[in-house]
Amino acid sequence: MKFIKVKTYEELSKKAADIIAAEIIHKEDCVLGLATGSSPIGTYDKLTEYNKEGTIDFSKVKSVNLDEYVGLDGTNEQSYRYFMNKNLFDRVNIDKANTFVPSGTAKDIEKEGEEYDNLIKSLGGIDIQLLGIGLDGHIGFNEPDEFFTAATHLVSLDPSTIKANARFFESEADVPTKAITMGMMSIMQARKVLLIANGEAKKEILEKAFFGEITPKVPASILQLHPDLTVIFSEN
């Protein structure tokens, strides 16, 4: 594991974008595993900048996102599909047909999960997976549990996650209580994993996840077993 500590969110975003940009330059048709939330916004801004100045070309890039709220379709401003379009896809020359987010409105979420895992396999797996981390140690929406779940699956969100995500909604009551998330198999099978976290509040969980016991009670701790993991932390 490479653990990189920087001072500012700006530096973190540039480092993360540089790592992803290098992947795109090295393999023009690479598969990016992408995350939502506040952590990657600066990274997406930087990638957009690199694309606009001609340093990177997204025309052959494919992407698979980690998760989506159950019940929200892509036109809903709180959906993760909407977030991705707004923060990255609509700003770069990626072909939207090559961008995938699990469907939160599929009739059969179990089946959607199976199809999503098959899709990832058919794309040849993920070249680099970008992750944030929840205050409870979740990655994607893999919440603390008694066991790790391998496949893309339906989850009930932890009360602490609902609280943390309420900042994006009008009220806590509006936050969906269920989500569909990539499981640990696709994340752990990604050829590279890049986890970013910023702010004092994330310090304690990073300590537990990367320097503590490997346990499903701290889902991100499984990443200690990944052969190519980079963690970037910034103080603000």
Residues that bind ligand F6R (CB under 6 A): 35-39, 66-67, 132-134, 138-141
d(C-alpha 221, C-alpha 209), whole Å: 4
143 included as an active-site residue: yes
Q: How far is the CB of 90 from ligand F6R (least distance, A)?
A: 18
> What angle separates helix 9-26 from helix 41-52, to the nearest 10 degrees?
50
67 included as an active-site residue: yes
- Choosing from 23, 112, 136, 158, which is the catalytic residue? 136
- Choosing from 67, 68, 112, 117, which is the catalytic residue? 67
Tell me the residue number closest to ligand F6R, measured at CB: 132
d(C-alpha 171, C-alpha 47), whole Å: 32
Closest alpha carbon to 123 in 19, 32, 20: 32
- Name which of 23 and 136 has its Cβ closer to ligand F6R: 136
- Choosing from 143, 153, 158, 226, which is the catalytic residue? 143
Name the DSSP letter for residue 158: P
- Choosing from 117, 127, 138, 158, which is the catalytic residue? 138
CA distance to 59, 70, 215, 229, 230, per residue, from 17 (Å): 17, 29, 30, 15, 13
Q: How far is the CB of 92 from ligand F6R (least distance, A)?
A: 18
Q: How far is the CB of 183 from ligand F6R (least distance, A)?
A: 12
108 included as an active-site residue: no
**H or E element: which one contains 153?**
strand 153-156
- Name which of 57 and 145 has its Cβ closer to ligand F6R: 145
174 included as an active-site residue: no
Q: How far is the CB of 34 from ligand F6R (least distance, A)?
A: 8
Type of residue at 8:
T
Dihedral, CA atoms, 220, 222, 227, 231, nearest 10 degrees?
Answer: 20
Q: How far is the CB of 53 from ligand F6R (least distance, A)?
A: 26
Type of residue at 72:
L
- Name which of 48 and 198 has its Cβ closer to ligand F6R: 198
Dihedral, CA atoms, 204, 172, 153, 66, nearest 10 degrees?
Answer: -60
- Which residues are catalytic, by number? 67, 136, 138, 143
